[in-house]
Structure 1
């Protein structure tokens, strides 16, 4: 079980099939494997030894996929760097796992001097962008052109494949260690549940430095199918590419889907080639699903739940559970059932499994679970206990094994002695036709300890106010759960994975500051 095996298979069976398409660049699998083998040789000549870490700080491109496989082909370990971080955070991740080589594209080349200045061990830079190669860097294309292809190192199994730093909805990032076996074991069950579309073209919009984007790319490579890439998300450009390249499948976060639906030219584009869309990162996407299926009624929707430590998928809610009857029953609001080979339990604070329908913490066990956190034994011991990964997510499981996320444990609101799960309130708010996005947090309150505070992004042109939203909520949930205060914003702070950064929202209400009364 080694990640480069899929390249050997496709090279043998379908070498002229399209591997990657990025702008005007197109490579078949024969060309892709040749470039990977040459880049692997170049990395070895530059000093990459077995197990050494190689980073990439860049937007999506065909070169990003070549980087992943070239590092593995040459025996190294990838460190995909979150390009939304500031320089201090980037340097932290590079120093933390001693990344000696860093590939960088034109969007981030200007940061190289600051990285050199701040890093304890200055990495060797490879310029993976277009245009002239900056001084002091090696050129990506020149390295491939001038380096002979090398044999695949064949590292696999429990060998370390990736150190992926958590995007950080809380605290400073931790380096999640993923082996070849971890990645393989995460991809294969997903392929059983959702077999890749034969002859399909997958559009990469979600960032490849994030575990969801990378894992979805690996599944497409395991299937020997084609990849179409855009540098980053732009609603109009995404619609254009889906139409022009006859995209069959993509992975998006809800904020991207909402941006597409809100685009004034959405209905001008032919999107009939799009057969399947996977979404994640939000437990309150019910109304978005209704909007999407109203516009694209024949599309297959799949919702995945996971985390970096699980490489990433824990459960999937399949297309059958997005049909009308499932949406009426509420099953479409589940995050699905545990995948093949993944054991899932809901437990109390003492680690004891709770009855079905009872809220507790999700814990997970299986061959997809990380090896641990790089150089953080205490954090590893806290997350991995007796073979189980403690996710920190609060949920309940129904009699059929479907999971329903209610909150992050740390985000649970305790108001007047009552536990309030923010996802429950968010789901109700999201049903209001004027609400585009929302997040619910607890803020300090002198009487109740915490009060429910909603942060809402209105749909364009909507005039809904706080009183109307509270009245809407009272139709569906108990009064004590309804927002005491509502704040309206133009946008919510999001992580690279599209998750709302609630810690950023809470920072405004630190040091005992209460939310504004309304």
Structure 2
């Protein structure tokens, strides 16, 4: 199926229903579809043809929604750009995929002159005056002739987007995803992620595929998108109450910020029906607090990655309600398969840790312009994720660590997520991350970086005693660092590479 199908269906069945709410702007399906067709016509007038790449570098807005649909409307491919990247990384991604057009908002318009090879056309989609040399977004829509949907000759196998991932070592990789890859039918069938006719809250970055997946699911079942520029706890709580939102995507750090916010009890959150979380491990203690803060809400954990468009497994609301497997990432979604393999690709016994491998119609076509990397990731029909995990007898997957992040201390394997989960259960801890750092005696030692709750103090020995009361003693941190905040990616993932970099050259103050 094509990703524009949901828009045509909504236009046919509920043209006057609200589709987007962004700040003071609210638009119906009919009004949004007209603007999308006109924006598609403007892209065609700018020379965009089927298969061309159209990039967006902007914060969340209703214009992001229009850009996605309009690009697909004429058979082109989207390239949502990471707003936290350096100018060099942004330049690389635009040059690598050969983007024909770049959309920028007010926050990023000043960056365009610094791009080494800017696209042929730049469209300013902010609210400030349009800078010289750029096309004005609203001017294009006002003057363009609506373009007919380019359905003829298209199929679900056509390229829908290039989504860049990585960039921490070497160069970013552009994940090529088709319309079928992104369609998300299996995700909704497996987890009831969105409420039919409901209101999806967007505060996670729309450039991230996880938010795009939920945006698409809400389109499939019909409803409204309530769009915030980004995540800010007070604004999210206010939006839930004001707009009576029903669903949202929130990464664990966002959920923790909400449940820790002092004004949470003063907000009416009763409209919420589902909260999807993922992108990084959720400490069980934080999850249980969130479930108490949002009673009656189905919490759904989604495990996956960009290469899996992005959902591979789901831990459903019913799974959460049972409380039996809260540390699991769930079971394979309806659109795919999961197995745990050894280094040769052979499936291991249940309960044995190996590499998580995925197969199904949601798996990427490959990396843009990188056939060798594609061949390494896609072997014998399976995507090899680089994540370590195991599967229990009922098919539930437990993610233990990135294989490259596993700590080998004194000859023992230590999985950082297990240690983090133990540390997070201490009442004085608000968040933490565990990494391996070089150690002359142990090869690597377990190092914990911890953010404490306001007004609390802890010592390294107190952390070690607490951790050893929950997991094996050799897994307890041998060194501890207390910080005011952890470095986060735009998607809310803790950036362990930055924590490792900060340790280089530090003296060794570990416990022996």
TM-score when normalising by structure 2: 0.97
Which residue does the alignment assign to 2:145? 148
Matches within 5 A, 1:439-450: 439-450=433-444
* 2:498 maps to which of 500, 504, 509: 504
Where 1:182 maps in the other structure, the secondary structure is helix
Cα separation, partners in 2 of 1:515 and 1:233, compared to 1, 3 Å: farther
Q: State the alpha-carbon separation in 2 of the partners of residues 131 and 478 from structure 1.
A: 57
Specify which of 390, 393, 397 is matched with residue 391 of structure 2.
397
Match runs of 1:106-255 below 5 Å:
106-115=106-115, 118-119=116-117, 122-154=119-151, 155-168=154-167, 171-184=170-183, 187-195=184-192, 196-255=194-253
Change (3 A) 1:16 1:303: same
Matching residue of 2:357 = 363
Shift of 1:171: 4.7
Aligned 8 A contact 1:284 1:426 in 2: no
Matches of 1:14 and 1:122, distance apart in 2: 37
Aligned-pair distance for 1:257?
Answer: 1.1
Secondary structure of the equivalent of 1:333? coil
* Structure 2 residue matching 1:37: 3-state secondary structure: helix
Question: Please, which of 361, 369, 376 is the counterpart of residue 370 of structure 2?
Answer: 376
Report Cα offsets for 1:99-151 as digits up to 9, x if no partner. Answer: 12100001111111112xx22x5441101010211111101111011001111
Corresponding residue for 1:415? 409
Say whether the 8 Å CA contact 1:253–1:498 is kept in structure 2. Answer: yes
**SS of 2:437's equivalent?**
strand
SS in 2 for 1:494: coil
Whole-angstrom distance in 2 between the partners of 1:18 and 1:161: 26
Q: What CA deviation, in whole Å up to 9, does each residue of 1:67-109 have, x standing for no partner?
A: 0010000111100000111111111110110112100001111
1:30 aligned partner: 30
Maintained 8 Å contact 2:57/2:83? yes
Secondary structure of 2:389's counterpart equals strand
Residues 178, 371 of structure 1: 8 Å contact kept: yes
* Whole-angstrom distance in 2 between the partners of 1:218 and 1:407: 29
Equivalent position SS for 1:447: coil
Matched, 1:267 2:265: yes
Deviation string, structure 1 residues 360-381 (Cα, Å, up to 9, x no partner): 0000000100000001111101
> Which residue is equivalent to 2:279?
281
Contact 1:169 1:495 in 2 (8 A): no
Following the alignment from structure 2 to structure 1, what is the Cα–Cα distance between the partners of residues 343 and 426? 35
Contact 2:55 2:78 (8 Å CA) reproduced:
yes
Give the superposition deviation at 1:283. 2.0
Provide Cα deviations, 1:240-291, integer angstroms capped at 9, x if missing partner.
Answer: 1111111111110111111112212111111111121111122242111111
Distance 2:344 2:455 in 1: 49
Distance 2:305 2:175 in 1: 10
Aligned length: 508
Cα RMSD (Å): 1.3
Q: Deviation at 1:170?
A: 5.3
Q: Comparing 150-159 with 55-64, which one deviates more in the overlay?
A: 150-159
Shift of 1:296: 2.1
Matched, 1:479 2:473: yes
Structure-to-structure mapping, 1:417-496, within 5 angstroms: 417-496=411-490
CA apart distance, 1:66? 0.2
Contact 2:40 2:146 in 1 (8 A): yes
**Could you report, residue by residue, the CA deviation over 1:288-307 in whole angstroms, capped at 9, with x for unpaired residues?**
11111222222211111010
- Is the Cα–Cα contact under 8 Å of residues 445 and 514 in structure 1 kept in the other structure? no
1:460 is displaced (CA, Å) by 2.0
Q: Separation in 1 of the partners of 2:119 and 2:150? A: 26
Q: Which runs of 5+ in 2 are unaligned?
A: none
Tell which deviates more after alignment, 297-306 or 160-169.
160-169
Q: Is the 8 A contact 1:361 1:394 kept in 2?
A: yes
Post-superposition offset of 1:492:
1.1
Q: What is aligned with 2:343?
A: 349
